[in-house]
């Protein structure tokens, strides 16, 4: 589907077993990197092109696309949300959308009354329920509740009714409601027929970031049912209670929402690799490549939330979002640890109409290494189970298992390895490979709250860099507890967090030093030679 | 019995009764035979000799026969908990986490000194996984059909499950009905008699189990294993194994013990 995006007219097919980098690339790579690097030669760029489909090639990932030309106004500050809204005209879609300010304030008031009423009927007291930072609601176009992050859906059916009303009220006037800003809250609406998603956030993030999160929730639901089934169900009966089909999947959506707060990969549309000596990774990759089967499309080895390797069928690309959904499935289900799991899963970015079948198992119950084999055939379980056995045998025979285990037991890497004293943390994404790298979180950010705060800061920088009307090349921000620097080039995106004692000059010079370090370590930190069957 | 072709034709034997084992020894190709108790390291020795290395932590009994057992029933009746109780002797307390798709595990049980390998499919009860469950029905030689004694809907759905079983499963599949969560006496809504009556109607054996206390869990799997083993390896002069009688006799025992405690 998206293969043409990546081929760029260069054939990178390598012969089986020949993992040595080609000479041409070595030459390009030997130059010391500068921030003006072109895509494809930045540190971490894959030698055989990308493993992943680029987010930019997809219509509905507006939040991630840089070339997006919608003329939504930039947000100057939180003080002036009305301005931003007034100008919130979206040119990218069929309709011109704007919001009525009057309706806005009035309705928000209404909603708050509603929510406090509803909260009493729940286990949680109204204050705790209301004080959650991020609420996400999913409802059907008939206004039936499908999912709420907190509380029970039944107790919220009238608040969902209000959301529905708001939406249809604006739509009645040939408009689309996008968001409501009031009293420090942002209520973001997303209509993905036949579903409606509403987020109520207490955050300073831009609407685009929030809509992106709603998109994730939408795709999570599609991955469980396929879009075809979803449409079919509601075509037959508009008032269908979708919770029947989604039973038992609530924790998946809960876990996804937690990931969105913590994992920079979901923000950057990228995936992190397990740091591993390239020789060891090559052995693992080629073992996985050798354990193939007729209907196998993707073989993915994960170590916790990090990718060890991915082998794919020739010309088939996995979208990073699909990988995040797979990853979310694995981390939020405990049953794969003991046995071998076999489940239908739709990879909505690959094909929203059909199911793949995934064989999911941990290499050992106690280890964090999880193997996902994705096949097109529902009856392929035993074939894939056999693939896993062959992979393990090969791995043991080439004694790569031990080094893999060792790499796994070690923490990722401390930021001190880079040798920049004021640097606390960074996130570096190589655009062409769709992979990112980031050191372990240092002391002040290890606590959950601080971790999420740092991610919030990065998210803010991200939305500044990718502002649709005034995209920035770099931004330096001094805050009370840290100084932040972010920059984007055609080849990479980089977010740095310095101690508050750092200076701007230091930050700028740190970038070059860091890029050199990443270049030096790239074959450990990234997957440079992705394989295909 | 597993035959591994190495330089010497070595045969790795499990500890099966001598009478049966002797049958295999008549082969003239046998040069070396490894015999000894289970777990002493016959296979490891062979692997060391064959491939020159030791594989730690991978003990899997060399077994002669294997059967596929599938756990079915509505969502949240305790299928995974029953399996974990049987497999690891533990109870999965705390939050309910739904099984995703189907989950495949192995367990070796001993029936009359013979190792029987059970391949157990733990299925998700949710509707959206039905199609994937159907695809594997026909591989199963035995089905454990569960309901929750504290939830009427799960009991009412048993008929629907049985209809489905007759449609997709093998004709001679062994079915057993289990009323799970028998420890929750205060919340019970389905009586033991109701369960028994339904089972009788369909001619399937029935018992109440508790994954939490372990009551009858072991028995359910062992009865299945015994039945399947007898079906497969029945000698002509041997009397037919009666799973109903076996369960009755064993159940009596466990309830006696229970009352003593």
Where in chain A are the domains?
119-262, 271-409, 415-525
Element spanning B76, H or E: none
A7 — pLDDT class (breaks 50, 70, 90): very low
In this structure, are B203 and B223 located in the same domain?
A: yes
B105/A340 touch (CB, cutoff 8 Å), yes or no = yes
The alpha carbon of residue A379 is apart from the nearest alpha carbon of chain B, in Å, by 7
Phi first, then psi: give them for residue A369, nearest 5 degrees.
-85, 120
Q: Are residues B54 and B145 in the same domain?
A: no
The DSSP code sequence of A349-409 is TT-TTS-EEEEEEESSTTS-EEEEEEES-TT-HHHHHHHHHHHHHHHHHTTHHHHHHHHHH
- Show the domain range for B43: 32-62
Whole-number percent of chain A with pLDDT over 90:
44
Question: What is d(CA B178, CA B208) in angstroms, rounded to the nearest whole number?
Answer: 5
Residues B216 and B93 in one domain: yes
Helices (H) and strands (E) in chain A, counts: 17, 19
Contact A307, A284 (CB under 8 A): no
Residues belonging to chain B with any Cβ–Cβ distance to chain A shorter than 8 Å: 55, 57, 75-76, 80, 84, 87, 97-105, 122, 124-129, 131-132, 135-136
Instruction: List CB contacts (< 8 A) between B126 and chain A.
Output: 245, 247-249
Looking at residue A74, its pLDDT comes to 34
| pLDDT recorded at residue A93 | 36
Candidate from A246, A333, A378 with C-beta closest to B97: A333
A119-262 carries CATH number 3.40.1350.10:
no
Fold agreement (A119-262, A271-409)? yes
Arithmetic mean of pLDDT, A386-409: 87
Structure confidence at residue B229 (pLDDT): 86
Question: Is the domain of B55 the same as that of B91?
Answer: no
pLDDT score recorded for residue B35: 67
- In this prediction, residue A530 carries a pLDDT of 84
pLDDT, residue A67, reads 33
B-contacting residues in A 396-425 (Cβ below 8 Å): 396
DSSP-derived secondary structure for A201-256 = E-S---HHHHHHHHHHHHHHHHHHH-HHHHHHHHHH-TT--THHHHTT-HHHHHHH
Domain A415-525 part of CATH 3.10.310: no
Which pTM value belongs to this model? 0.79
pLDDT at A127 over 90: no
Task: Specify whether domain A271-409 bears CATH 3.40.50.920.
Answer: no
**Is B124 in the same domain as B248?**
yes
pLDDT, position A494: 95
Q: What is the per-residue pLDDT for A123?
A: 53
- Both tokens of A244, joined, read 């029947």
Q: What would the pLDDT profile of A18-39 be if each residue is shown by its tens digit?
A: 333 333 344 444 444 454 556 6
Nearest CA in chain A to B105: A339
Is residue A407's pLDDT more than 80? Answer: yes
Instruction: Return the pLDDT at A120.
Output: 32
CB pairs below 8 Å between A and B: how many? 78
Do B102 and A249 lie within an 8 Å CB cutoff?
Answer: no
Q: Pick B132's closest partner by Cβ from A247, A378, A385.
A: A378
Instruction: Please report the pLDDT score of residue A64 as a whole number.
Output: 36
Evaluate if residue A513 carries a pLDDT over 90. Answer: yes
Tokens of A147: 């999912």
Find the mean pLDDT for residues A337-352.
91
Mean residue pLDDT of chain A comes to 79
The pLDDT, as a whole number, for residue A225 is 93
Is pLDDT at A390 greater than 90 in this prediction? yes
Instruction: Say if residues B170 and B140 touch (Cβ distance below 8 Å).
Output: yes
Chain A residues within 8 A of B101 when measuring between CB atoms: 341-344, 358
Q: How many CB atoms lie within 10 A of CB A178?
A: 22
Contact assessment for residue B224 and residue B174, using Cβ atoms and an 8 Å cutoff: yes
pLDDT digits (tens, 9 = 90+) for A51-110: 676 443 333 333 333 333 333 333 333 333 333 333 333 333 333 333 333 334 334 333
> Which residues are CB-contacts of A513 (< 8 A; sequence separation ≥ 6)?
A418, A419, A420
Cα nearest neighbour of A379 on chain B? B135
Task: Between A125 and A67, name the one with better pLDDT.
Answer: A125
CB contact under 8 A, A342 and B101: yes
Q: What pLDDT does B46 receive?
A: 67
ipTM: 0.73
User: Nearest-CA residue of chain A relative to B138?
Assistant: A379
* A34 touches B: beta carbon within 8 Å: no
Which one is predicted more confidently, A331 or B20? A331
10-residue averages of pLDDT along chain B (261 residues): 42 42 41 62 66 53 76 93 91 81 90 88 91 88 94 94 92 93 93 94 93 92 90 71 75 46 33
Number of domains chain B contains? 2
Q: What is the pLDDT of residue B50?
A: 65
Q: Which residues on chain B are in Cβ contact (under 8 Å) with A341?
A: 100-104
Span A162-179, average pLDDT = 89
Same domain, B43 and B152: no
pLDDT at site A486: 95
CB distance B135–A379 less than 8 Å?
yes
B136 and A341 within 8 Å at the Cβ level: the answer is no
Asked if A321 and A327 touch (Cβ cutoff 8 Å), the reply is: no
Residues B58 and B70 in one domain: no
Q: What is the Cα A513 distance to its own chain's centre? A: 28
Give domain status of residue B23, yes or no: no
DSSP A16: T
Q: Which residues of A touch B124 (CB under 8 A)?
A: 248, 343
What does the pLDDT average to over A279-305?
91
Residue A187 has pLDDT above 80, yes or no: yes
Q: Tell whether B57 and B170 lie within a shared domain.
A: no
Q: Which residue in the block uniquely carries the two structure tokens 């990218």?
A: A92
pLDDT of residue A96: 33
Q: Which parts of B89-210 are beta strand (E)? A: 102-111, 114-123, 142-148, 174-180, 206-208
How distant is the Cα of A270 from the closest Cα of chain B, in angstroms?
26
């Amino acid at each position: 589907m998206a293969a043409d995006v990546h081929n760029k007219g260069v054939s990178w097919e390598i012969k089986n077993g020949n993992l040595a980098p080609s000479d041409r690339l070595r030459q390009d790579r030997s130059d010391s990197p500068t921030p003006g690097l072109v895509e494809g030669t930045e540190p971490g760029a894959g030698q055989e092109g990308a493993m992943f489909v680029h987010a930019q090639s997809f219509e509905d990932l507006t939040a991630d696309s840089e070339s997006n030309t919608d003329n939504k106004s930039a947000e100057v500050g939180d003080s002036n949300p009305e301005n931003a809204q007034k100008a919130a005209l979206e040119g990218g879609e069929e309709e011109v959308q704007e919001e009525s300010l009057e309706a806005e304030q009035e309705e928000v008031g209404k909603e708050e009354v509603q929510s406090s009423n509803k909260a009493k009927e729940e286990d949680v007291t109204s204050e705790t329920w209301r004080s959650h930072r991020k609420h996400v609601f999913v409802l059907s176009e008939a206004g039936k509740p499908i999912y709420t992050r907190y509380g029970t859906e039944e107790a919220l059916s009238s608040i969902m009714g209000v959301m529905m009303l708001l939406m249809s009220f604006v739509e009645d006037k040939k408009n689309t409601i996008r968001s409501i800003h009031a009293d420090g809250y942002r209520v973001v609406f997303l209509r993905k027929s036949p579903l409606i998603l509403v987020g109520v956030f207490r955050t300073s993030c831009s609407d685009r970031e929030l809509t992106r999160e709603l998109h994730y929730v939408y795709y999570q639901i599609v991955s469980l049912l396929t879009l075809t089934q979803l449409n079919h169900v509601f075509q037959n009966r508009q008032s269908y209670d979708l919770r029947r089909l989604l039973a038992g999947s609530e924790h998946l959506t809960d876990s996804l929402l937690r990931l969105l707060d913590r994992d920079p990969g979901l923000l950057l549309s990228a995936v992190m690799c397990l740091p591993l000596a390239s020789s060891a990774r090559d052995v693992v990759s080629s073992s996985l490549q050798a354990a193939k089967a007729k209907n196998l499309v993707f073989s993915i080895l994960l170590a916790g939330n990090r990718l060890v390797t991915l082998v794919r069928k020739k010309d088939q690309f996995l979208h990073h979002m699909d990988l995040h959904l797979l990853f979310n499935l694995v981390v939020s289900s405990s049953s794969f640890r003991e046995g071998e799991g076999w489940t239908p899963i739709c990879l909505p970015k690959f094909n929203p109409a059909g199911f793949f079948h995934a064989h999911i198992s941990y290499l050992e119950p106690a280890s964090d290494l999880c193997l996902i084999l994705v096949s097109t055939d529902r009856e392929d379980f035993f074939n894939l189970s056999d693939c896993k056995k062959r992979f393990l045998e090969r791995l043991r025979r080439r004694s790569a298992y031990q080094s893999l285990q060792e790499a796994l037991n070690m923490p990722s890497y401390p930021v001190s390895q880079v040798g920049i004293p004021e640097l606390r943390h960074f996130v570096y994404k190589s655009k062409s490979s769709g992979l990112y790298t980031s050191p372990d979180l240092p002391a002040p950010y290890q606590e959950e709250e601080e971790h999420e705060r740092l991610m919030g800061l990065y998210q803010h920088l991200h939305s500044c860099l990718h502002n649709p009307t005034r995209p920035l090349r770099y931004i330096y921000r001094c805050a009370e507890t840290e100084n932040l620097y972010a920059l984007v080039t055609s080849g990479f995106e980089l977010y740095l967090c310095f101690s508050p004692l750092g200076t701007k000059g230091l930050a700028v010079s740190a970038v070059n030093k860091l890029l050199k370090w990443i270049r030096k370590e790239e074959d450990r930190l990234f997957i440079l030679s992705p394989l295909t069957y | 019995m597993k035959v591994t072709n190495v330089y010497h034709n070595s045969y790795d034997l499990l500890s099966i009764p001598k009478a049966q084992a002797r049958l295999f020894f008549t082969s003239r190709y046998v040069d070396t035979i490894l015999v000894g108790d289970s777990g002493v390291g016959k296979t490891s020795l062979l692997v060391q000799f064959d491939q020159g290395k030791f594989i730690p932590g991978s003990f899997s009994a060399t077994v002669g026969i294997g059967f596929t057992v599938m756990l079915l029933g509505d969502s949240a009746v305790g299928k995974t908990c029953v399996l974990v109780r049987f497999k690891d002797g533990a109870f999965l307390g705390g939050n309910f986490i739904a099984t995703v798709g189907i989950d495949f595990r192995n367990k070796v049980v001993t029936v009359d000194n013979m190792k029987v390998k059970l391949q157990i499919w733990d299925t998700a009860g949710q509707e959206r996984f039905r199609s994937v469950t159907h695809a594997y029905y026909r591989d199963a030689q035995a089905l454990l059909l569960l309901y929750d004694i504290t939830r009427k809907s799960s009991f009412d759905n048993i008929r629907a499950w049985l209809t489905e079983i007759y449609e997709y499963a093998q004709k001679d599949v062994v079915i057993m009905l289990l009323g799970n969560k028998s420890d929750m006496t205060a919340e019970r809504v389905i009586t033991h008699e109701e369960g028994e009556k339904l089972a009788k109607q369909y001619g399937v054996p029935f018992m109440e189990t508790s994954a939490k206390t372990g009551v009858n869990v072991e028995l359910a799997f062992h009865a299945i294993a015994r039945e399947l083993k007898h079906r497969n390896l029945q000698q002509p002069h041997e009397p037919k194994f009666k799973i109903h009688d076996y369960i009755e006799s064993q159940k009596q025992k466990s309830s006696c013990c229970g009352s003593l405690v």
